[in-house]
Structure formats: structure tokens, C-alpha cells
């Protein structure tokens, strides 16, 4: 099996397995990213919102400067946050992110969420997150159409400063609309995908449009324990008996089975780990494959359970309805 997905327009090869930077503490980020690259990671999935781009960039540049890897062997992804959707804010935000990362270009620039939040100046708060400074229990929107944002994303792609552009947390309705005006088709859609939220129709339709799919939160509840105070959780997937049985059969870990399950759907994965041994094992998912019966058994675990839902963060935005 190939270890890459080929992206439309550029033909760039995006590694099927990467490393996610969400919740990597800035004080650990430089070492964590450097060690992940040394362990073999070639795709780094970051975002302005993760609050660690300076340190992630240091880790990347340390690995490049020490000759561990060449820049062109890495695939760096970042995302534009919700408060920067207005057309005049897009390029300056992107430039800040490039500068923070200490890079001349990124390989993929994604719209983090299709949610136009009221602009917060970089000097006022960065990253600003969902809440507006001075307000604790509500969010404010601004009138920034995705179409205008996409035009600016296209300009960044045309300039070569982001080799590819794409979207995250978009549903079919929005993508269908975007495809009516896009001069550059999104290269990638990044969404939450795991056995409890399989979104099979979305994945298959998006892939048919020539857009590659990346799964985030492949381990389901594993990274959301602190976020769900509404009881919206489920048996940890990493310890689920069905996943365990399959893992034992293959002599693999449950984490490797969960990642391999996405690969069986031609979907890329970006697991995050603070432990370099786990990161190494998360990369080692090409030496086995799941049988049709095993994929079917995992198919039965569907619960329609979404963890990364702004609605559950307490400000009443039912984004995925």
C-alpha cells in the first residue's frame, strides 16, 4: 500500500500518517516535534489556534538544520482560525503564521471551521479561541462569507506560499456550494472520524469529488475527557473489546488498529502523542491490513457520537445540524 495520498491540482504527495499538534504544550512542543520527526513523522498538523506554532516551528527547523530531514521531505499543515475570515485579515494572518513557524511556505492551509467569528486583533489576544475578550458566555459572528475567504485562500495558493488549500469541519452542503465558485478545488477535507462517528457517506462523496480526507481524533474519546462535562462520552475506543480482539489477532495495539481502519478507507490520520514510543508505533501501520470481516465488525460500533462539537462547549452553536 502506498504511504501517501496524491492531492488534486498539484499532484503533491500527502503522507497517510502524520502528527497532530493540538494540546501539545508550548513548553514541550519544540522537543516533541523534533523527536517526532526523528522518529519518522513527515506530516505535521498544526493550527494557529493550538497556541504553539512558534515552538512547533522551532522543532521543525531544528530537525531541518540538523540534517534529520529536508524541508521538501516534510508536509506542514496549518489552519486559519475563525476570527480571521474577513478578506482583509486572511493574508496578514497567514503571514503571521508563516513567520511564527519560521517557514517560507506550508504544504497545506486549511479553513479550521466554517464559522466567521468577530475579528480579534492579533495584538489584542492570540490565539483568541472561541470566546471574545471581555465576554465569557457568548460568541459574536461577523458577516464574512466563505466565498470571500476562499478567494483569499486561492490567492495564497497561487502565490505558492501554501502549496495546497483545503477545509476542515465542512459538511456536504457547504462543500457543494463551495464547488460552485471555487477556481481551486479544496485538496483536503479534515474532519472528526473514528468508529463512533464514521461519516461514511460524507467520506465517500468527498473522495468522489477528488478531495482527499484526513481523520482527526482517530482514538475517539481519548483526547476529549477534559472537554465533555455533559456525560457525552463512551467506552474508550483504545480499550474496546472489538478493537482489542482484532489487535490481538494481528499482534498490534488497539491504537494501530484504529489508525489502520482509516487507511482501509483511504483516509489519512494525524494522531497526537506526547510519547515518542507511541508516536513510532502510530507510524507502524503499513505492515498489516484489516479483513473485510474486521472492517464490518468495526462498522457496527457506529454511535453517531461527535466529540468536537462547538455546541458542547457551552455557547449554543449547533454547527453540525
Ligand X SMILES: NC(=O)c1ccc[n+]([C@@H]2O[C@H](COP(=O)([O-])OP(=O)(O)OC[C@H]3O[C@@H](n4cnc5c(N)ncnc54)[C@H](OP(=O)(O)O)[C@@H]3O)[C@@H](O)[C@H]2O)c1
Q: Which stretch binds ligand X (CB under 6 A): 2-10, 17-25, 52-60, 171-179?
A: 17-25
Of 122, 125, 274, 319, the one binding ligand X (CB under 6 A) is 274
Q: By CB under 6 A, tell whether 126 contacts ligand X.
A: no
Q: Which is nearer to ligand X, 21 or 86 (CB)?
A: 21
Of 84, 94, 126, 216, the one binding ligand X (CB under 6 A) is 216
Q: How many CB atoms lie within 10 A of CB 202?
A: 17
- The C-alpha cell that represents 105 in the structure block: 511556505
Q: By CB under 6 A, tell whether 174 contacts ligand X.
A: no
Q: By CB under 6 A, tell whether 21 contacts ligand X.
A: yes
Contact of 133 with 125, CB cutoff 8 Å? yes
The sign of the CA dihedral 76, 18, 215, 266 is positive
Of 222, 243, 247, 290, the one binding ligand X (CB under 6 A) is 222
Q: By CB under 6 A, tell whether 218 contacts ligand X.
A: yes
Any catalytic annotation for residue 50? yes
Of 9, 13, 38, 278, the one binding ligand X (CB under 6 A) is 278
- Produce one character per residue of 93-118: b if its CB has 16 or more CB atoms within 10 Å, e if not: bbeebbebbebeebbbbbbbbbbbbb
50, 109, 126, 196: the active-site residue: 50
Contact of 16 with 269, CB cutoff 8 Å? yes
Q: Nearest 10 degrees: CA dihedral of 138, 142, 148, 150? A: -10
* CB of 50 vs ligand X, minimal distance in Å: 7
Q: By CB under 6 A, tell whether 53 contacts ligand X.
A: no
Q: x/- site string to ligand X, residues 242 to 271, per CB under 6 A?
A: -----------x-x--------------xx
Angle at 253 between CA 250 and CA 257, to 5 degrees: 70
Residue-wise DSSP of 243-294:
HHHHHHHHT--HHHHHHHHHHTTT-EE----S-HHHHHHHH--SS----HHH
Residue-wise DSSP of 163-185:
EEEEEES--HHHHHHHHHH-SS-
Q: Which stretch binds ligand X (CB under 6 A): 81-89, 153-161, 170-178, 217-225?
A: 217-225
Q: Which is nearer to ligand X, 123 or 311 (CB)?
A: 311
CA distance 321 to 317: 9
Q: By CB under 6 A, tell whether 20 contacts ligand X.
A: yes
CA distance 234 to 120: 36
Q: Which is nearer to ligand X, 183 or 226 (CB)?
A: 226
CA distance 291 to 188: 27
Q: Kindly list the distances between the CA atom of residue 96 and the CA atoms of 106, 128, 250, 283, in Å, as whole numbers in the listed order.
A: 12, 14, 45, 31
CA distance 209 to 186: 10
Q: By CB under 6 A, tell whether 285 contacts ligand X.
A: no
Q: Which is nearer to ligand X, 160 or 172 (CB)?
A: 172
Q: Which is nearer to ligand X, 183 or 188 (CB)?
A: 188
Q: Which is nearer to ligand X, 66 or 298 (CB)?
A: 298
Q: By CB under 6 A, tell whether 78 contacts ligand X.
A: no
* CB of 246 vs ligand X, minimal distance in Å: 15
Size of the site for ligand X (CB under 6 A): 28
Q: By CB under 6 A, tell whether 97 contacts ligand X.
A: no
- The C-alpha cell that represents 315 in the structure block: 455557547
Q: Catalytic residue numbers?
A: 50
Q: Which residues bind ligand X (CB under 6 A)?
A: 20-23, 45, 112, 168-169, 190, 216-219, 222-223, 238, 253, 255, 270-275, 278, 281-282, 308
Amino acid at each position: 500500500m502506498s504511504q501517501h495520498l496524491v492531492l488534486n491540482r498539484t499532484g503533491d504527495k500527502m503522507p497517510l500518517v502524520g502528527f497532530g499538534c493540538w494540546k501539545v504544550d508550548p513548553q514541550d512542543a519544540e522537543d516533541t516535534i523534533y523527536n517526532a520527526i526523528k522518529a519518522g513523522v513527515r506530516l505535521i498538523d498544526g493550527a494557529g489556534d493550538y497556541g504553539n506554532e512558534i515552538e512547533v516551528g522551532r522543532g521543525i527547523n531544528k530537525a531541518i538544520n540538523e540534517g534529520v530531514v529536508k524541508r521538501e521531505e516534510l508536509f506542514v499543515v496549518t489552519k486559519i482560525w475563525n476570527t480571521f475570515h474577513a478578506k482583509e485579515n486572511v493574508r496578514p494572518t497567514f503571514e503571521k503564521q508563516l513567520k511564527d513557524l519560521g517557514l517560507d511556505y506550508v504544504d497545506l492551509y486549511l479553513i479550521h471551521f466554517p464559522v466567521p467569528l468577530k475579528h480579534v486583533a492579533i495584538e489584542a489576544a492570540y490565539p483568541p479561541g472561541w470566546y471574545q475578550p471581555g465576554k465569557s458566555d457568548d460568541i459574536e459572528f461577523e458577516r464574512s462569507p466563505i466565498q470571500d475567504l476562499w478567494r483569499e485562500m486561492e490567492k495564497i495558493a497561487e502565490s505558492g506560499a501554501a502549496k495546497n488549500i483545503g477545509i476542515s469541519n465542512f459538511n456536504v452542503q457547504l462543500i457543494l456550494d463551495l464547488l460552485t465558485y471555487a477556481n481551486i478545488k479544496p485538496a483536503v477535507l479534515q474532519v472528526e472520524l473514528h468508529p463512533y462517528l464514521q461519516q461514511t457517506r460524507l467520506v465517500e462523496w468527498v473522495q468522489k469529488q477528488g478531495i482527499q480526507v484526513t481523520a482527526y481524533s482517530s482514538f475517539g474519546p481519548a483526547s476529549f475527557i477534559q472537554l465533555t462535562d455533559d456525560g457525552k462520552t463512551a467506552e474508550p475506543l483504545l480499550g474496546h473489546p472489538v478493537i482489542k480482539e482484532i489487535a490481538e489477532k494481528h499482534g498490534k495495539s488497539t491504537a494501530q488498529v484504529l489508525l489502520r481502519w482509516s487507511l482501509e478507507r483511504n483516509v489519512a490520520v494525524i494522531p497526537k502523542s506526547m510519547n515518542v514510543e507511541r508516536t513510532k508505533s502510530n507510524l507502524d501501520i503499513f505492515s498489516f491490513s484489516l479483513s473485510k470481516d474486521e472492517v464490518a465488525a468495526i462498522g457496527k460500533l457506529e454511535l453517531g457520537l461527535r466529540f468536537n462539537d462547538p455546541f458542547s462547549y457551552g455557547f449554543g452553536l449547533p454547527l453540525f445540524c
